[in-house]
A and B are shown apart, each in its own frame.
Chain A
């Protein structure tokens, strides 16, 4: 079923969450340079599901890995382009990180600048997983075989959510009677049983006292005396306080807050450097060194402790992270999360593995998810369940999704907007409805006619009508429009110039000379 376009309507004035402009990614192999992406541009807006579709080998995975800047180097590199994640261009410093000298197709010299790459990686590690997360085609290969599922998910939480955990723990330690009273009043104002439960759950979660959830519930159920309940709850929490650690937790929180400040400052510094704003550079530089001095002076001991007494100090954190992990596993409908959390990837089925991957990607509350053929390796029923989960997440928490697949039926079922890829180019982009009802680009037209009607679900298995010719070799791609050797409508200009992706009607873009004369400038 084709998803309604209602959400896209509102998008006109929104800023895109991820914006890719003229992205060029190449692989330098012994056979020659694979021109995998040739000026790919697209945007993903908050809250939408953007689908990328195309034959295998057309560069979908390369696109998604480029967006996270995870192209394996060697052999690959992003050559040029811009990738904005939440407004920050993550690849603005390409030229600072490496010089590429192309002597011939098979003899390419790359000089890498370690310092710049290191800085780049430092910045990116704070963005990856935090602002944008990714799941892969083969969950079995994508999970670390020697770590338990729980450890792998907790790793994300400990990396990105440490301050939120600190806050919960500190709140618990400093719980006041007023807060408890408010909660009790709130509780009694609700009539619905499940709502009541939820309220208790929320309360417990925000103070990191989940272990008391049941007792609080029974307390509330058995007694009417608000004062008594309040005191009981307070006692319950206070008696179990880990008082001894509170100082440590404050300190750790301070440390990680400082780390965050340093990171924010680095970002500002980077931005200033890119703008060439020398006064700003100076300002941020001095601020940065000030922060670093604080780090060195105040947190010297703590850092040693974190290194050598990690377990002892971080026990509370791990406990909380584990609880959150269980919650995440429940959220993605894993049966028996208490068992799964301690199992290794090979002990789970493919569907479970993919769910665990999704749980892992959600761990840091990212606002966007990249799903690279998340269902291709799974059987049909599991496929449907995973798609359901992704759609639910999109609906419930408004997470944007870049959804990659070669399966048009899946696109029709899931996505709001679609980009059609062919041999490293996006050749057409439009809303899902329009792509299916009114495809423009000859390649898309071919795709559509090769698919049984889009509204007949799950029939992709039947023999497809075919487009003549073969997928081009991306080492020596066809000149001009890369589709021209296979195109029924090819004209003279098609082999000479590369058509530009232009908007031919409202939010419908096509790269084809049949619709527009505009070509890419070389």
Chain B
């Protein structure tokens, strides 16, 4: 089968999955008491009369009272129109989609650096230790990856914070000190740096924007704030990748075709480079989806501990709501972030599958 048809088939499979995901978030939204749901829509500071009006509006907007399929359809059209509802929390008030839009770049920046860092380290290291199983370096690598794989990420973050945040002041990762508080950069669309002038922010990622504007002092500050979160996340991602690549190397080395390569007289170095490494690294493309999932989950924890206003924190804020009291959970925020995380991962997996099919001739039967 040609690659083209494979991609088409893969896209077709995506459709029911996305509908399923929407159904899931819809169920989440309808599994809670209707009154609580409506309360989320209503501005609590308004007068009783206004409240009653807003309540009525919410009921019609959500299609409550209609049969469930109709409600689902209403939900679908809402989502299609970018209306994920509103949320009110300590970090962000307003439309959920807008919130995601604002908070995403920060998480994305951390994720990008984490992926780059862990891939750059895990591939050479994994192939190295995988090519000499049971050696000393292999044992060290295995212990390392095992420990970080089994480590509670929140604990690791706290320990790093304790070790570096206190002693090395420049690493004190307590919130991005731009404009003092919150995360206003994206709303304004400009960074106001400490010297007072402003400039455009094409990516909304602080470090990258600063570099693009050649503002290196700001870039340094931004980078410093990235170090600990990225390090924390990288450790777990790295551990997983390392384990996978090592196992792939060992597994591939035992394949029959490696024996063939040796029987042909291919020197050991080339056997490793040309025959083992390529075949061992190929499948690691497929775990990237899983790793991104872990990474996004980890981001929730890391953003909480390092007080980074990213997507993970937004989803936590939706749960803690305005006061940290259970009654104020922001259901639309919860459902919206779940939906968004799901879409990101589905997209990742789609890309991963296509890239894999492109790289591995066997996929296109």
Contacts and interface: CB of A to CB of B under 8 A. Distances in A.
B263 interface: yes
Interface string A159-191: 110000000000000000000000000000000
Contacts of B260: 134, 136, 142-144, 357
B266 A70 contact: no
Given A141-B257, A146-B361, A128 B262 contact: yes
Contact of A156 (B134, B254, B265, B274): B265
Given A121-B268, A138-B256, A145 B361 contact: yes
B215 interface: no
A70 B259 contact: yes
A141 B259 CA distance: 10
Contacts of A142: 256-257, 259-260
Contacts of B254: 72
Interface string B119-134: 0000000000000001
B269 to A, nearest CB: 10
Q: Which of B134, B257, B361 has the most CB of A within 10 A?
A: B257
Contacts of A143: 257, 260
B259 A122 contact: no
A130 B260 CA distance: 13
A128 B275 CA distance: 17
Interface in B332-365: 360-362, 365
Nearest to A363: B264
Interface string B228-272: 000000000000000000000000001111011111111110000
Contacts of A74: 134
Contacts of A130: 265
Interface in A118-157: 118, 121-122, 124-130, 133-134, 136, 138, 141-147, 155-156
Contacts of B255: 141
Contacts of A357: 260
A129 B256 contact: no
Tier of interface size on chain A: 35 or more
A63 interface: no
B286 interface: no
B278 interface: yes
Contacts of A160: 265
A344 interface: yes
Contact of B264 (A121, A129, A138, A146): A129
B279 interface: yes
Nearest to B132: A114
Given A126-B265, A129-B263, A360-B264, A144 B279 contact: yes
B282 interface: yes
A129 B265 CA distance: 5
Given A130-B265, A146-B279, A146-B361, 8 more contacts: A121-B268, A141-B255, A141-B257, A142-B257, A145-B257, A145-B361, A155-B274, A156-B264
Interface of A: 65, 68, 70, 72, 74, 118, 121-122, 124-130, 133-134, 136, 138, 141-147, 155-156, 159-160, 344, 346-347, 357, 360, 364
Interface of B: 134, 254-257, 259-268, 274-275, 278-279, 282, 360-362, 365
